DNA sequence: CGGAATGTTGAACCTTTTCAATAGGCGTGG
DNA sequence: CCACGCCTATTGAAAAGGTTCAACATTCCG
């Protein structure tokens, strides 16, 4: 795991607070949130935040950075379950069996808020909004996975890659970054694992979209030229 | 929705209690659980328990029966997310946005325990094990989906169908029913939607497994002849 | 700067899909 | 109770989309 480092900033002042804990909250209640996060840590690129099988003690909130969540199956192959950006919570699969069922690795230097499970339990006993919020968060993760599985099943390569790019852009936008001009922090292989395509197909499809004039690629840098065409493309290119 | 009908049986006497709410519990606490379920309803074959978009008021526990959970996408196509049997909880995706994000239909006459959200909130405020249990349940659902997505992505048709049959058998076994001799309550098309294959491939693959002497099919009735061969088959038949 | 990792591109191949035709099952009504 | 019709399942053949293998280009990092 990464080295500790004190990062000054309370939840109440954090710019991504409402992404982590989307609940209506009074100023008075906000102090409850502030004690939720005891430590913050840095995780450097390629370092693990936690590994599949590690004991579950905390969930984590991404303050800054970019990470991937993955499972390794019995044959040792890695399957990417998702990419994680600021304001997103990690480790939610740990509640099930008191150990993490997936691994999280930083794809870019990241800062992570540590939220101890014990503290969640303590606080939520008296502060009920937190408990409801956690329900919502866990349920949202279920919904997200369901929606993902519907996309991945019924789409062809072009639709998968288009969806992937649009989704990334949208998430950058929510974080006040450019929606149509961003760096892919992951490799083609990781994209492929996520959307269920081989690395070759990912590469070909990206190039195809480029040749269609929808995007522009400079290695890891992606520029969405015509976001509307990309969206239309999604619907019109039927399997 | 289905007609109401009083079904006498407390959680504390229910044979599938530990499937619904897997928590250690004292006899005294058990009374807490008993008040959790206020009503029980019957849902006949082909009837909906709830529909995608319906307001979220309750989660449900299957007492007896067999159901399917599905999403309808924007093009009106149905994607099956899962099949549900006794002791399983339904409606967990409702917490996210206070409405159900999926629909549940009975594939066989079923009896369902209704657990009102309000009541969960009330009880869990004083009875903390319930709250922890709900966390676990929601998290388990996330883990289940993750594992599902890893299988569905990396497996060929034969592996998918084998996994599907083994999983069903295992779940029947946990309910003291035969592990290797059961009725498929769903159509081939519904199997296909679930494992991401066309109806034709499902049919062909089932027949192939039959011709290999691993299973025996009589329309909806499945007999697993050689469960070990089916399991080996899973590993040995590489993509 | 040089080696290793990552990405691109082509061609053959293979699995699953698609289309089409037929067979089987189930339920309703005469 | 049987017949009819509809829905579901099976099977074949052709097609398509993605994968695999292989060679080469580019980028990254020490």
User: What does the pLDDT look like over B74-100, one tens digit per residue?
Assistant: 788 899 999 999 999 999 999 999 999
- As a whole number of angstroms, the distance between CA B67 and CA B104 comes to 7
A6 assigned to some structural domain: no
The model's confidence at residue A8, banded by pLDDT at 50, 70 and 90, is: low
Contact of B177 with chain A, judged by CB distance below 8 Å, is answered with no
The answer to whether B50 and B159 are in contact (CB under 8 A) is no
Per-residue pLDDT at B85 = 96
The model's confidence at residue B238, banded by pLDDT at 50, 70 and 90, is: very low
Return the residue of B nearest to A124 by Cα: B125
B59 assigned to some structural domain: yes
Q: Give the domain range for residue A68.
A: 11-130
Contact of A77 with chain B, judged by CB distance below 8 Å, is answered with yes
Contact of B132 with chain A, judged by CB distance below 8 Å, is answered with yes
Query: Does residue B198 share a domain with residue B91?
Result: no
Residue A60 has φ and ψ, to the nearest 5°, of -130, 150
Can you name the residues that pair with B114 across neighbouring β-strands? B39, B60
Per-residue pLDDT at A15 = 87
A216 assigned to some structural domain: yes
Return the residue of A nearest to B120 by Cα: A132
> Which chain B positions have a beta carbon within 8 Å of A129's beta carbon?
none
Q: Which nucleotide is nearest to A187 (CA to C1')?
A: C6
Q: What percent of chain B has pLDDT over 70?
A: 95
The string of pLDDT tens digits covering residues A161-220 is 999 999 999 999 999 999 999 999 999 999 999 999 999 999 999 999 999 999 999 999
Q: How many CB atoms lie within 10 A of CB B97?
A: 14
Mean pLDDT of chain B: 91
Q: Which residue has the higher pLDDT, B216 or B126?
A: B216
Domain count, chain A: 2
B6 assigned to some structural domain: no
Query: Does residue B127 share a domain with residue B212?
Result: no
Contact of B73 with chain A, judged by CB distance below 8 Å, is answered with yes
Which segments of A86-161 are extended strands (E)?
A: 89-90, 103-116
> Which chain A positions have a beta carbon within 8 Å of B145's beta carbon?
142, 145-146, 149
Q: Which nucleotide is nearest to B207 (CA to C1')?
A: D10
- Asked if the Cβ of residue B198 lies within 7 A of any atom of strand C, the reply is yes
Query: Does residue B172 share a domain with residue B231?
Result: yes
Q: Which CATH number does the domain housing residue A156 bear?
A: 1.10.10.10
The model's confidence at residue A76, banded by pLDDT at 50, 70 and 90, is: confident
Query: Does residue A187 share a domain with residue A104?
Result: no
What's the pTM value of the predicted model, to 2 decimals? 0.93
Query: Does residue A193 share a domain with residue A120?
Result: no
Is there a contact between B96 and A134 if contact means CB atoms under 8 Å apart?
no
A94 assigned to some structural domain: yes
Per-residue pLDDT at B7 = 57
Query: Does residue B140 share a domain with residue B159?
Result: no
B1 assigned to some structural domain: no
Query: Does residue B207 share a domain with residue B168?
Result: yes
pLDDT at B135 over 90: yes
The string of pLDDT tens digits covering residues B5-49 is 455 678 888 888 888 888 877 777 788 888 888 899 999 999 999
Per-residue pLDDT at B2 = 43
pLDDT at A66 over 70: yes
Q: Which long-range contacts (CB under 8 A, 24 or more apart) does B114-117 make?
A: B114/B37, B114/B38, B114/B39, B114/B40, B114/B41, B114/B58, B114/B60, B115/B36, B115/B37, B115/B58, B115/B59, B115/B60, B115/B61, B116/B38, B116/B57, B116/B58, B117/B56, B117/B57, B117/B58, B117/B59
- As a whole number of angstroms, the distance between CA B169 and CA B151 comes to 17
Query: Does residue A126 share a domain with residue A20?
Result: yes
The answer to whether A69 and A115 are in contact (CB under 8 A) is no
Query: Does residue A188 share a domain with residue A102?
Result: no
The model's confidence at residue A4, banded by pLDDT at 50, 70 and 90, is: very low
Which segments of chain B are extended strands (E)?
A: 37-43, 48-50, 58-72, 78-85, 89-90, 103-116, 181-183, 215-218, 221-224
Q: Which CATH number does the domain housing residue A48 bear?
A: 2.60.120.10
- What DSSP character marks residue A229? H
A141-155, B35-49, B224-238: which has the minimum mean pLDDT?
B224-238
Query: Does residue B203 share a domain with residue B177?
Result: yes
Q: Which long-range contacts (CB under 8 A, 24 or more apart) does B212-215 make?
A: B215/B165
Q: Which residue has the higher pLDDT, A79 or B233?
A: A79
Is there a contact between B153 and A92 if contact means CB atoms under 8 Å apart?
no
Query: Does residue B221 share a domain with residue B118?
Result: no
Query: Does residue A158 share a domain with residue A124?
Result: no
Residues near chain D strand, CB within 7 A: A 156-158, 196-198, 200-201, 204, 218-220, 239; B 187-189, 199-200, 202-204, 206-207, 217, 219-220, 239
A144 assigned to some structural domain: no
């Amino acid at each position: 795991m990464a080295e500790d480092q004190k990062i000054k900033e309370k939840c109440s002042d954090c710019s991504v607070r409402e992404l982590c804990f989307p609940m209506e909250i009074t100023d008075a209640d906000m102090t409850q949130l502030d004690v939720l996060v005891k430590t913050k840590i840095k995780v450097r690129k390629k370092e693990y935040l936690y590994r599949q099988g590690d004991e579950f003690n905390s969930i984590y909130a991404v303050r800054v950075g970019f990470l991937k969540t993955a499972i390794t199956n019995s044959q040792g192959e890695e399957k990417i379950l998702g990419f994680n950006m600021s304001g997103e919570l990690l480790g939610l699969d740990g509640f099930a069996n008191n150990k993490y069922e997936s691994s999280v690795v930083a794809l870019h230097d990241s800062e992570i808020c540590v939220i101890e499970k014990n503290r969640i339990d303590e606080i939520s006993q008296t502060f009920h909004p937190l408990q409801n919020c956690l329900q919502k968060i866990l349920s949202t993760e279920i919904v997200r996975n369901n929606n993902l599985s519907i996309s991945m099943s019924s789409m062809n390569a072009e639709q998968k890659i288009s969806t992937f790019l649009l989704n990334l852009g949208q998430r950058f936008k929510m974080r006040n970054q450019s929606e149509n001009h961003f760096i892919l922090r992951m490799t083609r292989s990781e994209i492929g694992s996520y959307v269920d395509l081989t690395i070759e197909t990912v590469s070909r499809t990206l190039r195809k979209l480029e040749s269609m004039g929808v995007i522009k690629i400079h290695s890891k840098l992606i520029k969405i030229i015509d976001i509307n065409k990309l969206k239309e493309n999604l619907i019109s290119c039927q399997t």
